[in-house]
Amino acid sequence: MAVHELFSYLCVADAQAAVEFYCKVFDASEKFRLVEPGGRIGHVELDLGGTTLMLCEEFPEVDIRRPEPARGHSHTLHLHVDDADDVVARAVAAGAQLAMAPRDHFYGERSGTVIDPFGHRWNIGHSIEQIEPDEMQRRYDRDPDC
């Protein structure tokens, strides 16, 4: 078996609003969409710097549902950008909730976390230094909260 690609596929309540948010905040561009006759958006593909993000609206009839942030988060999307502080600020200005302000981390990244208006958790970061796994573990052992 060969894996050729892995796509994030998010379910949202309002796909049009999600497309607008991701295009504004992450400079995404829409590749295409499929819309049911009743108007429900069944599939959208966005390009984020050469990576595909897929979206759909809820399909409760087949148990595809948007996240419930009040119950916590089962996943995080980790997005590497040129300037994490700028993108986190743009996300918050566009309606995301700040979960963690950007800061430097022991693993060589500056990152912050937002919950987008659709309930998805994004860790947005950029590299500040290249660190070998042994050094990451040493730093983590010393201070896991750093």
Q: Which helix (H) or strand (E) holds 19?
A: helix 15-26
Q: Specify the pLDDT at position 146.
A: 59
* Percent over 90 (pLDDT), the chain: 83
Residue 144, pLDDT > 70, answer: no
What are the b/e assignments for 48-57, b being 16+ CB within 10 Å?
beeeebebbb
User: What are the pLDDT digits (tens) for 66-105?
Assistant: 988 888 888 999 999 999 999 999 999 999 999 999 999 9
pLDDT the model gives residue 30:
98
The reported pLDDT for the residue numbered 143 is 76
The model's pLDDT over 122-138, given as tens digits with 9 standing for 90+, comes to 999 999 999 999 998 99
Q: Per this entry, what is the length of the chain?
A: 146
Compute φ and ψ for 95, nearest 5 degrees: 115, 0
What secondary structure, in 3-state letters, does 55-112 show? EEECEHHHCECCCCHHHCCCCCEEEECCCHHHHHHHHHHCCCEEEEEEEECCCCEEEE
Those residues whose C-beta lies under 8 Å from the C-beta of residue 86, and which sit 6 or more positions away, are none
**Structural domains in the chain plus CATH codes:** 1-66 (3.30.720.120), 71-146 (3.10.180.10)
pLDDT reported for residue 69: 84
Element (H, E) at 22: helix 15-26
pTM for the whole structure: 0.91
Mean pLDDT of the chain: 94
| Burial class, 145, CB count within 10 angstroms (exposed 0-12 / middle 13-18 / buried 19+) | exposed
Residue 136: the pLDDT is 87
